[in-house]
Amino acid sequence: MMVAGHCSLLIGCLLMASAVAFAPSNPRRLSQTVSSQSQLRAAPDDVDFMASLRTRMDEVGDRDTKLPLVVLDSMLPRQVLKISVSNPVFMELIRTRLVEENPCFGMLGMARLQTGEQVHLRSGVEVQIVGKPKVLDDGIKLQLQATRRFRIDGDVENAKEGWTEGRVRFLDSVEEEAKEEETDGIMLARAMSKARKLEPLVDQWIELARESERQPGQIDQLLLDLGDIPDDDEPSERAFWVGALINPIPAMGVALEIRPALLTAQTADQRADIALRGIQNSIQHMNGSKKLF
């Protein structure tokens, strides 16, 4: 809406500038010219055009900040999920997003409180439908890859098609850490120090995890999906990468679940700490020095 307002103001200014630039020296003719310009701005075609423009701007704004939301699993950026879908509403959502050439929606998970109660997270990731879904006899099979993180910004509502939608605010680690550096540079430096400790632990974890693969090549495929580990001067992104590594989809059963904690953490230091403790505990579990369960 704000962008549309600026467009209206800009168009009005251009019309006024045009009237002055081409105004005749005769005051009477100037009055007639300005009057003609006013009538031009008020013409029905222009009103219809502006209404159409505002509608398109609103649609663009909704596309950028409003997402269909699916509660299925907590995912972290870069993670890949392969699923078969038979739920009619979910299938209609997939078809609709593909027709609209906007193959993305929001993915949320659940968190268990200390009381044992499970609650829906308000922090999640945007997931992209990768490739073309495969039609099955009883549903569709598709692959999803997590991209941007987001936090639900306000209430959620039911769309007329049956699924849930919500206004979201996308989160960027670079911007978050830049603000942290302005307010508490020492804490950010501490996060980077913890992030540096992660890389040698990753090598240990991979070596041990190869012995616990559910299927041959699982770790190699996981590393291919995740790509290179982010630099240690990107502590949040490195923490998310480690979380995606030790909590793969499907789960390997070699680490505690840390993805909800990473998604809801407020600072880079918190995220680095969660990832560091998570991978250390997983290594101890796999080498037998301290079993988790």
Task: Please name which of 149, 142, 145 lies closest in space to residue 98, comparing C-alpha atoms.
Answer: 142
Q: Is the pTM of this model over 0.75?
A: yes
CATH 2.30.130.40 residue spans of the chain: 66-171
Q: Report the pLDDT value the prediction gives residue 112, as an integer from 0 to 100.
A: 82
Q: Report the pLDDT value the prediction gives residue 31, as an integer from 0 to 100.
A: 45
Pairwise CA distance, residues 101 & 143, whole Å: 16
Task: Please name which of 93, 281, 273, 134 lies closest in space to residue 190, comparing C-alpha atoms.
Answer: 273
- 3-state class of 20 per DSSP? helix
Sign of CA dihedral 143, 123, 261, 149: positive
- Within 8 A by CB and 6+ apart from 87, the residues are 139
- pLDDT tens for the 293 residues of the chain, in order: 333 333 332 323 322 333 333 334 444 443 444 444 444 454 556 556 555 555 554 454 445 689 999 999 999 999 999 999 999 999 999 999 999 898 999 999 998 877 888 899 999 999 999 999 999 989 999 999 999 999 999 889 999 889 999 999 999 999 999 999 999 999 999 999 999 999 999 999 999 999 989 889 999 999 999 999 999 999 999 999 999 999 999 999 999 999 999 999 999 999 999 999 999 999 999 999 999 99
Q: Report the pLDDT value the prediction gives residue 20, as an integer from 0 to 100.
A: 31
Pairwise CA distance, residues 283 & 192, whole Å: 21
Task: Please name which of 55, 75, 192 lies closest in space to residue 128, comparing C-alpha atoms.
Answer: 75
Q: Report the pLDDT value the prediction gives residue 283, as an integer from 0 to 100.
A: 98
- Name the architecture of domain 66-171: Roll (2.30)
Instruction: Give the max Cα distance, the chain.
Output: 96
Task: Say how far residue 179 (Cα) sits from the centre of its chain.
Answer: 19
Pairwise CA distance, residues 95 & 290, whole Å: 47
Q: Report the pLDDT value the prediction gives residue 8, as an integer from 0 to 100.
A: 34
Q: Report the pLDDT value the prediction gives residue 114, as an integer from 0 to 100.
A: 78
Pairwise CA distance, residues 195 & 235, whole Å: 5
Cβ atoms within 10 Å of 202's Cβ, excluding its own: 19
Q: Kindly provide the b/e burial profile for residues 105-133, where b requires at least 16 CB atoms within 10 angstroms of the residue's own CB.
A: bbbbbebeeeeeeeeebbbbbbbbbeeeb
185-209 and 218-226 helices, crossing angle to 10°:
150
